[in-house]
Structure 1
């Protein structure tokens, strides 16, 4: 009977030890891969309302356009880079008399929150004069 108890205790001891040794080895050998961030689009700090307020606050009506009572829409296209800066600013539709240049100046002032998408993002914006 003593031999039987000894055999069971020995079996359980070695069995439990080998179980924990295997589980510890698999955890230490496990290579963790970094979790990549999902694509998140760029955003303007404060959202679209804040962006509209920025445009209204900084847009200066060109003096020549005001003197000639020029009214209309200037459309501007630009890219937002991964770091949140703007580039490749192009005037798609211009009124003339400095309106296009003013719209380009405003777009170059913009700074977006960076996005995690792997490429630049393009955006078109109309400016009313």
Structure 2
């Protein structure tokens, strides 16, 4: 199966609760993260792939607190996931929302040549 090179978010039927408070909703949030996320050079050189999970609380004033990496892949992917999550801007929810956001790092190559690039 063909994959897009770079990074993204797992979109497999999972709704991210805070996405309702992102301008444009979940798809807009995914698009922003995909645009901003850069594959760390060390991770790319070492062919490191996988899912980072960042957790945080969205406060009633629209700010985030307690942003932390719950699971990382290494090679700078966790730091990059944290950097991009900190860039997200949300509308104000009525109550605090504790959530986690999965961010996938994939070297998007297809077929038998996957490990040669």
Same fold (TM over 0.5): yes
Kindly tell me the number of residue pairs found equivalent between the two proteins: 87
1:62-81: per-residue Cα shift (whole Å, max 9, x none)? 01001111111111101111
1:85 Cα offset (Å): 1.6
Is 1:90 matched up with 2:87? no
- Superposed counterparts of 1:34-53, under 5 Å: 43-53=21-31
Give unpaired runs (5+ residues) of structure 1: 1-40
- Superposed counterparts of 1:24-39, under 5 Å: none
Distance 1:87 1:102 in 2: 17
Which of the pair is proportionally richer in helix?
A: 1
- Higher relative CO (Cα under 8 Å, sequence separation at least 6) belongs to 2
- Partner residue in 2 for 1:71: 49
**Aligned counterpart in structure 2 of residue 112 of structure 1, from 78, 84, 90:** 90
Which of the pair is proportionally richer in strand?
A: 2
Q: Which has the larger radius of gyration?
A: 1
Q: Under a length normalisation based on structure 2, what TM-score does the superposition of the two structures give?
A: 0.70
Give unpaired runs (5+ residues) of structure 2: 1-17, 106-117
Does the 8 A contact of 1:103 with 1:127 survive in 2? yes
